[in-house]
Structure formats: C-alpha cells, structure tokens
Structure 1
C-alpha cells in the first residue's frame, strides 16, 4: 500500500519509534533547561499539537488551500519542533513558512507576499509586513528538515483501502457519510504524533476502524442491529486478512480518543496568551 512510501525519506529519515521521538524531544528539553525555559512536558506537547493544528488551518482558510497542502505544512511543523524549541523561534512565522513551503512542494504555489499578507491578517501582532522574513525562515526550516520535503499522507491509503474493502465484500462499501467522516478524522489525526510514528496506511486503517466499528451504528440507524454487527464482523475479517498490524490500530484508536477528549477542554485563547507571555513577555489578560 502506497508503495513509494516504503522507499521514501519519510520512512527512512522521519519515521520515529515512540522511544526515538521521546529521545528527540528530551534533547530539545535539555536545551530549554539550559536556557531556563523548560516547560515542554508530554502534556504541554500534546496541547501544542492542537494549537499548531488550529494555526495552520486558520492561515490555510485565508489562502483557500487544499487539505493536502495544510496536512503537509503540519507535518513540516511537527518535524521541525522535534529539533527546535518553541522558545527559540517566532512560532507564527514558522507556521507561515511551513505553509509557504508546503504550497511549493504540493504544486499549489502562493506568492511569498501573499502568504506574508494573509499571515499578518490572521496574526497581526506576530507577523511583519516584510516577506524576506519568511524567506529567511524557509532556509532555516529546510535545513532542519534535512531537505526532505516529500510527504506521504493517509488520504491515498484510505482510497486504496476502501477499494480493497469493496472488492473483498460489497457490503463493506462505504456510504458517502462514512467516507467523509473518515477523511475528517484523518484531518484530525494531524493534531497528534501519529504521522511521525506510523506509515500512512496504519493511520487510514485506524480512522476506518473508528468509523466502521464505533460510529457506523450511528451513521446507519435504519439498519437492523444484526446487519450492522455482521458488517463489523466482515470488516474485522478484512483487517485480519490484510496483514495490517492490529496492535498498532488499537493503540492509535486510544490516541485518537484521547485527542478528542483533550480537544473538548482546549482553550485556544488561554494557550495563545501563554505563548504571548513566554515568547514576547507580554500580557493579554
């Protein structure tokens, strides 16, 4: 599945284990500790992922970007902050730069002045009028990413899986609402570390599992319970025969459930104020 992924820089250079990701962040923490700014604990990192997710989508909407472009920008941002502390940089400039570079990578180019202007419209206190600042950040970003910019996403894997499911048994064909919900859940997964930890098809299968098993009875209320149960059993058989690592799926389901629980309690304004104080020494209360 997604054959090109297996030979990609994503797999060979930017796929972490949980242990190696924790080690990378520990090094960032060590740098923060040396500078007296250490607050980058596990829970704080999870909250930051949600905040960056929101920021990228704010700018993406301003620029009318495709979802894939925003997803690539989010991967760049996630990778960058495994090496660089949020307290070393202007995070809003980094987010704008990730979006700008992602537009070029995904062949949806935006003029640097346009990105600068729209970023300033969204975050007027944090982004200057000067487009050369994004140009400078671009070199910094690409250097930290080791110039590996091609990203493989779960969207293609989702389409491959749905085709395979229909071929396996027509009863597994997704209705439009199921497909849309799975796509939306993949979008949400970028607010986690999943794409740093797993191949794209694992994430696609995780989101399919959550829709097919956990939400399908809600999406198909007119179907008798026995019919829904039989379909879930068919899907379980499909997964069992697919060779996909089921333990990873179970682990990722828990991660996604935890994400939604955190999201319910996430206070964007509070977090923005925290960044203002930490990065610029200002108070917005």
Structure 2
C-alpha cells in the first residue's frame, strides 16, 4: 500500500467525492489500512483456503490427479460467487471434491463417469461445468443419500469412490446442508456462464473504450 502514494491519493480523492460523510482528507489512513487488517487478524497471517484442504484430503479420500485438478477448477470458479464470503474454506473444498468425483473424469484417458449412472463410462467427456449444469442438484443429492440418480435402475451400483467420500462425510462434522447449498450456487453460476458470450462481451467493452477515447 505505502509503495503507491500517488495511487492512494487518487483513491482517497475519488472516495471523498463519493462518500464525503465517511472519508476524511487524510490519504495516510489508506496507507495504514494493512496494519489495521493485521491488528484485526491478531497477526495470524496464515491464510486458509479451499485448495489447501483439497491437498490435505487427497490421500485419505484416495483422490486421483484428475479429481484434484477438477476440484481445483471448481474452487477457482467459486470465487466468481459470494460463496467465499458465506462459507468456510473446508466446506467449499468438500463440495469441490464431491462434485469432482461425481461429475469429473477421475479415471484418466478419454473415459468419463456418467453422472446419471454413477460409474458408467462414456467417451469424450464434457467439461465438469457442463455435466454439473445438465445433471443438476438431483444427482449430487442422490449421491449424498446413497441412492440411484433419477433415470437409473435399482440394480445400478453406486460408484465405490463416491461411496467412500459419502461415508467419510457422514462420519465427519462437515455441515452437509452447507455443502448442498454451495452445490446449488455452483449450478446457478454455470447456468449463468452458459448464457454469456465471451466474444460479444469483448466486442462491447472494446467499443466502449473506443467511444470513451473518441469523446476526449
């Protein structure tokens, strides 16, 4: 913070114009904010994040390299939501692991575990976001409950890897309701992302920048 004095003055000036009743004419306060944060954290500067929990659970849950990769992708995507502000890191990590095993590859190669069949192998796997969006919350809930997903027969055997995680989850003190809520939020995120045209967004932003420069 203190290495950017000019930027701090600009931020202070802009903030004072927007919130004159809250912002004082003292840019130094912004430069000192990191010390306020350290004080609030009681100098406990170790940051706990979901990535760390995934790595710690890799061995106990016998996760594959692909499981970890898929879980990491989900964790990276969850930062586009309010989940980091609402739930602790370990809940996010458990949600990511569960969804990675249910909807991800996990077996290596081109094979993919069909989310509707709990272990059926299909070729050319879709992305985990696509699988999660298409299957919906029902498949994840059926896995948590140890039942078959909608559209499957009673003879279909649950994936033992999923069963192992569900058993571990049942024996742990992790808030399952919170895991389900996080799952629903991720489904909603991917539904929104599915309707976003990245190229169109880039073109709109480019036109806005060109228009702003033209006005000058």
Two-structure CA RMSD over aligned residues (Å): 3.9
Structure 1 residues 34-183: aligned runs within 5 Å:
131-136=4-9, 137=11, 140=30, 143=33, 146-148=36-38, 150=45, 151-165=47-61, 173-183=62-72
1:260 positional shift: 1.7
Residue 63 of structure 2 aligns to a residue whose secondary structure is coil
C-alpha separation between the residues in 2 aligned to 1:229 and 1:273? 48
C-alpha separation between the residues in 2 aligned to 1:241 and 1:283? 60
Normalising by structure 1, we get a TM-score of 0.42
Residue 174 of structure 2 aligns to a residue whose secondary structure is coil
1:275 positional shift: 8.4
Structure 1: gaps of 5 or more residues: 1-100, 105-111, 113-130, 166-172
Query: What does residue 256 of structure 1 align with?
Result: 186
Q: 1:216 to 1:244 in 2, by over 3 A?
A: farther
Structure 2: gaps of 5 or more residues: 12-26, 114-118, 121-155
> Contact 2:98–2:162 (CA<8 Å) still a contact in 1?
no
Query: What does residue 161 of structure 2 align with?
Result: 231
Residue 196 of structure 1 aligns to a residue whose secondary structure is helix
Query: What does residue 243 of structure 1 align with?
Result: 173
Residue 159 of structure 2 aligns to a residue whose secondary structure is helix
> Contact 1:202–1:245 (CA<8 Å) still a contact in 2?
yes
C-alpha separation between the residues in 2 aligned to 1:186 and 1:157? 11
Task: Give the total of aligned pairs.
Answer: 147
Query: Is the counterpart of residue 269 in structure 1 residue 202 in structure 2?
Result: yes
The structure with the greater share of residues assigned to helix is 1
Question: Runs (4+) of structure 1 moved beyond 6 Å?
Answer: 273-276
> Contact 2:48–2:89 (CA<8 Å) still a contact in 1?
yes
> Contact 2:70–2:104 (CA<8 Å) still a contact in 1?
no
**RCO higher in structure (CA 8 A, sep ≥6):** 1
> Contact 2:102–2:162 (CA<8 Å) still a contact in 1?
yes
C-alpha separation between the residues in 1 aligned to 2:32 and 2:207? 27
C-alpha separation between the residues in 1 aligned to 2:89 and 2:54? 9
Structure 1 residues 184-223: aligned runs within 5 Å:
184-216=73-105, 221=111
Q: 1:235-274 CA distances to partner (integer Å, 9 max, x unpaired)?
A: 1111111111111111101111111222233354377479
C-alpha separation between the residues in 2 aligned to 1:161 and 1:242? 12
Residue 187 of structure 2 aligns to a residue whose secondary structure is helix
Q: Could you say which structure has the larger radius of gyration?
A: 2
C-alpha separation between the residues in 2 aligned to 1:234 and 1:210? 14
> Contact 1:216–1:228 (CA<8 Å) still a contact in 2?
no
